[in-house]
Amino acid sequence: MSEPASISTGIAARYATAVFELAKESKSIAKIETDLSALESAMSESADFGSLINSPIYTRDQQAAAIGALAKAMKLSPTMTSTLNLMASKRRLFVLPQLAKALRGLIADEKGEITAEVVAAKSLTKAQQDKLAKTLKASVGKDVKINLSVDESLIGGLIVQVGSKMIDTSIRSKLGNLQNAMKEVG
């Protein structure tokens, strides 16, 4: 891991821990989850929001004013609003994506959940996702939340990653293995 990425992750982890502890004390973890969903949506859908948190051309005061207005419009909790204002005043808004990821991890640990990153050749139905989650739960012993993405180049099958364990059952991978085996024989 590069040093700047490591520093950003460390900063985000400290903020995430503080927000999580405050939310846990005030029994508002569910509200923080709602806030996270709103922030993640804003980060992925709004180029202006991305520019605000990443661009050095905005002053601390401009970032703080914009974050205050956004927090009010998004109806964020007082804990999240205060955290974002503090981050703006310290020019730390650039770690917001890492903060969201770290906070999601802390909340999942608290709930006894784990997230499985699943890449499929085509979109899975709700029933298929539930069956996969049930199968993974039997394997890992925790409730599994599925984060699904579609990659048609897989041809068929799935790539499932839970923690550091990865299972690749895609047809693309099997064809690649077959191609390598044939090269070795020839």
Work out the mean pLDDT of the chain and round it to a whole number.
Answer: 92
Confidence (pLDDT) at 18: 95
> What domains appear along the chain, each with residue ranges and CATH number?
3-109 (1.10.520.20), 113-185 (3.40.30)
pTM for the model = 0.72
Distance between CA atoms of residues 186 and 182, nearest Å = 6
Helix (H) or strand (E) holding 119: strand 113-120
Predicted pLDDT at 4: 66
Closest CA to 163 of 128, 129, 92, 113: 113
What is the tens place of the pLDDT at every residue in 67-87?
A: 999 999 999 999 999 999 999
Band of residue 163 on the pLDDT scale cut at 50, 70, 90? confident
- For the segment 135-145, the average pLDDT, to the nearest whole number, is 91
Distance in angstroms (rounded) separating the CA atoms of residues 137 and 142: 5
**What does residue 114 show for φ and ψ, rounded to 5 degrees?**
-140, 145
6 pLDDT more than 80:
no
With 80 as the cut, is the pLDDT of residue 164 above it? yes
Exposure of 43 in the CB half-sphere (CA atoms within 13 A): 17
The yes-or-no verdict on residue 153 having pLDDT over 50 is yes
The whole-angstrom distance between residue 65's C-alpha and the CA centroid of its chain comes to 26
Residue 2 confidence (pLDDT): 53
Buried b (16+ CB within 10 A) or exposed e, 158-169: bbbebeeeeebe
**CA–CA–CA angle 82, 101, 120 (5° rounding):** 145
